[in-house]
Structure 1
Amino acid sequence: MRLSRLILLLLALIGPALAWAIDLQPNDIVAPLPNKNYLTLSYLNAENSTLYRNGTASPSNPVIDTQLALLRGTHSYSIGALPAVSYLQLPYGTIKPGGSLANYSSDTGIGDLSFATAIWPYANRATRTYLGIAGYLISPTGSYSSQRAFNLGENRFRTDLQIGFQTPITKSVDGMIAVDTMWFGGNSQCAATCGLASNGSLTQKPLTTTQLGPIYRINEIFTVGASYFYVAGGAISINNSYQNNVVNTQRFLLSGQAHTPIGRFSLQYGRDMEIKNGYAQTRLLILRLAKEF
């Protein structure tokens, strides 16, 4: 039963996107020009392994492989004199447990649909200084079964509010910082993931993430960046029973971009550096192509 209860960390502490925060790419905080349309196709490959419980590693050898294709449509516009942008994003992929979790079923299908809108109260292109605010809604549209411990969908609504700031450090280097908090709706059909024989209630405290780092513009084509993340909060309760599993995670993400006639190619690689509760992420690889149309 103890191992089954630990499985609940997967649903609420990693999820199929393998990121609690709204991870930003280099220059995501830069306000877009109005009346532009973009289509972005992304491929995500991730692996999570050792399970930690209050800083102590489990002796078992779990492996969780996730592969996702994400399709995003984006439109930029103006609200009065302020730049704004909205997008819809839909994932499709597979989450597959292995190692000591090999007896658990995998899941293939559609993930949870995301909608986001951002607005820039301050955007100064001359000084390369931007302040943006974004809101996100993630709806429970993805594949989910209460009898399956590993699901692409979470069967609950999630909302997130993020504020980001970017400004020059040198002629070619900008600094960015963003903070977001995610709130979770309840899941009243949590059985296998919660280690229960029948459906129970899963609730989760808000989760706050801070991300910061430099962005280096090499030339007109290439840009690179590095981000440090600190994630805190997100403790879970099952049937109003507190599970004492506060998230306290540090991780990094390296990014590279190339602006080409085909579109903007992005490559990101990251992993966890320190984790208190949940499955440690040992690999996160994301490849994107964004095309204006």
Structure 2
Amino acid sequence: MSATFHHGQQQAGNRRQWRAMPRCGRLCLLSLVLAISRGTGTASAATNDIFPGDYYAINPGDKVFSLYLFDRANVGPYLGGEQVADSKVKGRIGAIRGVSAFSLAGLTATAVAVLSCADLKPSSAALGDVIGSHSTGLGDLRLGMTIWPINHRQTANYLGVTAMVIAPTGHYISDQLLNYGENRWRWVLAGGWQKDITPRLLIELSPELTLYGDNRNYAAGQRLEQDPALALTGYLRWRLNPSFHLHIGAQRNWGGATRVDGLALKNPPENTRLNLGLTWFLPGKQQLILRLAEETQIENGFRIERELALRYQKVF
């Protein structure tokens, strides 16, 4: 039997299992699947994963290339703050980001494009039979612009404002519940403030608002809607010396409850994530950031039990 035929046969079996389920069972499963997608990084955290120094204003004419690698282990799901099952989901995500800086009306501005890919796997074979054993492919394309109304190098005070659109270009299979691409538009308005407190200590704060379009082909042709979501990310960074910085950070997320065919699932994640890490400045305008993180509290969804993130960055 060819792999293609077997895959098509498995998808048809998934559709039959899905449509044969009672409506209440489907809604419970949808809540679970949405929890899985949150736990693997598509919705639980701020839409833009902010790293230390992201709102430092580079010089017009500079270009930045960044490579991201994430390894996440998730446990749950949680409902109303209580863990209701001991399932695990693993996600491995890679992304590339390109940034170009220029001057706009006398202000520093940057244009950014981000493309990601992922491999997501539920640990349970029974769950995989219904929602899909894995989701592998490209994510949705992100295009954005940031403008710095405050860019004072003398006082080390920076404030940037970002607008971003995320297009539904990622890999999406409508007959499979587990997908990395989201098959919907998203719009993000964010900001970032960075300020030196002392010559060795600085603070960073980044609020974010995300608005979601509808996915009209979700789970056998149903309509998925999502409330706006808010996030706040913060870092404290210590300059050990010019080459090494240590940081601790936190992120809090609010809102983002979903509805399927108009029925409210009442499942906002309402989660808190803590992280710590190291920034290493290398010769030739290169940089490495290593970050460890976990979610310490969550109301609904899969909790990130462990995240290891690595970012390489080069300024040209």
> Given the alignment of the two structures, is residue 51 of structure 1 paired with residue 77 of structure 2, yes or no?
yes
State the 4+ residue runs in structure 1 displaced beyond 6 angstroms. none
> Given the alignment of the two structures, is residue 270 of structure 1 paired with residue 293 of structure 2, yes or no?
yes
Q: In structure 1, list runs of 5 or more residues that go unmatched.
A: 192-197
How large is the RMSD of aligned CA atoms in angstroms? 1.8
Q: Deviations over 1:151-191 (max 9, x none)?
A: 11011111111122121222210111111011111001111
Q: Alignment partner for residue 213 of structure 1, among 223, 235, 248?
A: 235
In the aligned structure 2, how far is the partner of 1:175 from the partner of 1:154?
A: 33
* Cα drift, residue 102 of structure 1: 4.4
Mapping of 1:56-75 within 5 angstroms? 56-58=82-84, 60-75=85-100
Percent identity, aligned pairs only, is 27
Identify the residue that residue 155 of structure 1 maps to in structure 2: 183
Identify the residue that residue 149 of structure 2 maps to in structure 1: 121
Q: Alignment partner for residue 115 of structure 2, among 87, 90, 113?
A: 90
What secondary structure sits across from 1:247 in the alignment? coil
More relative contact order in 1 or in 2 (CA 8 Å, sep 6+)?
Answer: 1
> Given the alignment of the two structures, is residue 282 of structure 1 paired with residue 286 of structure 2, yes or no?
no
Are the aligned partners of 1:9 and 1:279 in contact in 2 as well (CA < 8 Å)? no
Identify the residue that residue 291 of structure 1 maps to in structure 2: 314
What secondary structure sits across from 1:218 in the alignment? strand
In the aligned structure 2, how far is the partner of 1:202 from the partner of 1:271?
A: 28
Q: Alignment partner for residue 244 of structure 1, among 266, 275, 281?
A: 266
Identify the residue that residue 28 of structure 1 maps to in structure 2: 54
> Given the alignment of the two structures, is residue 37 of structure 1 paired with residue 68 of structure 2, yes or no?
no
* Cα drift, residue 139 of structure 1: 1.2
Opposite residue 70 of structure 2, the aligned amino acid is L
Q: 1:5 to 1:25 in 2, by over 3 A?
A: closer
Q: Deviations over 1:18-70 (max 9, x none)?
A: 65312322221211111011211111111111101121211x32211111221
Comparing 95-104 with 167-176, greater Cα deviation is found at 95-104
Are the aligned partners of 1:16 and 1:152 in contact in 2 as well (CA < 8 Å)? no
Q: In structure 2, list runs of 5 or more residues that go unmatched.
A: 1-24
Are the aligned partners of 2:207 and 2:231 in contact in 1 as well (CA < 8 Å)? yes
Opposite residue 118 of structure 1, the aligned amino acid is T
Mapping of 1:130-149 within 5 angstroms? 130-149=158-177
Are the aligned partners of 1:63 and 1:101 in contact in 2 as well (CA < 8 Å)? no
Q: Deviations over 1:120-144 (max 9, x none)?
A: 1011101111111011211111111
Are the aligned partners of 2:68 and 2:312 in contact in 1 as well (CA < 8 Å)? yes
In the aligned structure 1, how far is the partner of 2:208 from the partner of 2:240?
A: 28
In the aligned structure 2, how far is the partner of 1:245 from the partner of 1:73?
A: 34
Are the aligned partners of 1:132 and 1:165 in contact in 2 as well (CA < 8 Å)? yes
Mapping of 1:163-174 within 5 angstroms? 163-174=191-202
Identify the residue that residue 195 of structure 1 maps to in structure 2: none
Opposite residue 74 of structure 1, the aligned amino acid is V
Q: Which has the higher helix share?
A: 2
* Cα drift, residue 291 of structure 1: 1.5
Are the aligned partners of 1:25 and 1:255 in contact in 2 as well (CA < 8 Å)? no
In the aligned structure 1, how far is the partner of 2:301 from the partner of 2:283?
A: 42
Q: TM-score, normalised by structure 1?
A: 0.92
Q: Alignment partner for residue 112 of structure 1, among 140, 158, 173?
A: 140
Identify the residue that residue 194 of structure 1 maps to in structure 2: none
Q: Alignment partner for residue 102 of structure 2, among 65, 72, 77?
A: 77
* Cα drift, residue 252 of structure 1: 1.0
> Given the alignment of the two structures, is residue 232 of structure 1 paired with residue 257 of structure 2, yes or no?
no
